[in-house]
Amino acid sequence: MTAHTLERIAEVLEARKNAAPESSYVASLYHKGLNKILEKVGEEAVETILAAKDAQYSQDMTEVIYETADLWFHSMLMLSALNIPAQQVFDELERRFGLSGHAEKAARTES
């Protein structure tokens, strides 16, 4: 996957806003509403954490990769439901690129 893949997913999520709920998983979640989408984000976050915990002992990364993909996908769906362009998150990460986390936190707490 590249950043381009996330951009393509964002485009599909936007297009699904006009789709019938029974025709698509994404459309069905839009139809159920933001609370259901947030529930899925929470569920996928927990599943990712559990998979990561197991992976450190088993050294099998398959599940953690699968669950992280679910988490990223549902997080993008959350942004889309709130009409936040995924590009704004890409821009924020780009802005932070090369900036140490410690320096970034110091800049935030000074202002």
Ligand X SMILES: N=c1c2ncn([C@@H]3O[C@H](COP(=O)(O)OP(=O)(O)OP(=O)(O)O)[C@@H](O)[C@H]3O)c2ncn1[C@@H]1O[C@H](COP(=O)(O)O)[C@@H](O)[C@H]1O
Within the chain, how many helices (H) and strands (E) appear? 6, 0
Considering the complex, what minimum distance in angstroms separates the CB of residue 26 from ligand X? 3
Q: Does 80 bind ligand X (CB under 6 A)?
A: no
Judge contact between 77 and 29, C-beta under 8 A: yes
Q: Considering the rule CB under 6 A, would residue 16 count as an interface residue with ligand X?
A: yes
CB of 111 to ligand X, least distance (A): 37
Residue with tokens 């069905």: 28
Cα(52)–Cα(19) distance, rounded to whole angstroms? 35
Compute how many residues bind ligand X; rule: CB under 6 A.
9
The site string for ligand X over 28-67 (x = CB under 6 A, - otherwise) reads: ----------------------------------------
26 binds ligand X (CB under 6 A): yes
Could you give the residue ranges of the DSSP H alpha helices within 1-111?
3-15, 25-32, 34-58, 62-81, 86-96, 101-110
Q: Contact positions toward ligand X, by CB under 6 A?
A: 9, 12, 16, 24-27, 70, 73
